[in-house]
A = this chain, B = another copy of it.
């Protein structure tokens, strides 16, 4: 289907969102799906599923510096109790992010597993709208927050404990960086959210920008709970940098720019192509998998 996406608003699908110029405004439109058995275990809390569905779409808006205008839900009806908990969770997450449910559709599910879809609409707060493709040689590469918490949380949940700790919470209830995205939009050369792992997404940014990116793994920001759980070894940092669901922002800008958002320099934009990894001064080989390949 990629071949039929020829409208300039689609940005060649190199971005996670469509950017539509209309009158004086630029609309940001994104649609993410989640499928039972792929994006959530059948025994997951339906309220967590609702949270993640909304948060993952809002994260795409955050990466564009967009102000959310609302969401539309595509919901497959299922077992009453599950649906009720999902609806309660949806109300909670929409209120948390102050986002309106504008409509959508419900359908009966005749199958054994469900799929849910959410469309999020936003308005750009700065033009040009940030994209993956603006990184310039000499830029610093930044990441907001800490990485790997969601990975660690998933492992803990999967192993059957720590369902309410900070790591599990990072997995179940990510906080898209909407405020940071709007503050950064006027300052950045390139920006995207990290949904599939820092390394994979940084490689995509390098490719879209036709530059190289070097990352110093010793600079990967880790949280105290993550360090308690997995330590601060190089391997622990590589894992934190190569798994998804963090929903932090990855961006580049010139070293002179003053960034007023809490963010960590993890690398720089260089000539060439692709990703190069360092541990302090020592170059290290790329891991076999850079991140999580969604479908």
Contacts and interface: CB of A to CB of B under 8 A. Distances in A.
B102 A20 contact: yes
A135 to B, nearest CB: 21
Contact of A33 (B36, B101, B107): B107
B295 A39 contact: no
Given A1-B87, A31-B74, A112 B115 contact: no
Given A22-B123, A77-B295, A108-B295, A117 B33 contact: yes
A94 interface: yes
A193 to B, nearest CB: 14
Contacts of A110: 35-38, 113
A13 B103 contact: yes
A23 B25 contact: yes
Contact of A101 (B10, B38, B107, B119): B10
Contacts of A101: 1, 4-5, 7, 10
A128 interface: no
Interface string A17-35: 1101011110101111111
Interface in A68-113: 69-70, 72-77, 87, 90-91, 94, 100-113
Contact of A111 (B9, B24, B70, B114): B114
A62 B148 CA distance: 47
A200 interface: no
B107 A34 contact: yes
- Give the size range of A's interface with the partner: 35 or more
Which one of A24, A72, A112 has the highest number of Cβ atoms from chain B below 10 Å of its Cβ?
A72
B108 A17 contact: no
A interface SS class: strand
A106 to B, nearest CB: 6
Query: Which of A9, A69, A105 has the most B CB atoms < 10 Å from its CB?
Result: A105
Nearest to A108: B295
A121 interface: yes
B20 A22 contact: no
B9 A100 contact: yes
A6 interface: yes
Interface of A: 1, 4-7, 9-10, 13, 16-18, 20, 22-25, 27, 29-39, 69-70, 72-77, 87, 90-91, 94, 100-115, 117, 119, 121, 123, 294-295
Given A109-B113, A111-B113, 16 more contacts: A4-B101, A7-B100, A13-B103, A22-B27, A22-B69, A22-B123, A31-B103, A33-B105, A35-B109, A37-B110, A38-B107, A38-B110, A107-B294, A111-B111, A111-B114, A115-B115
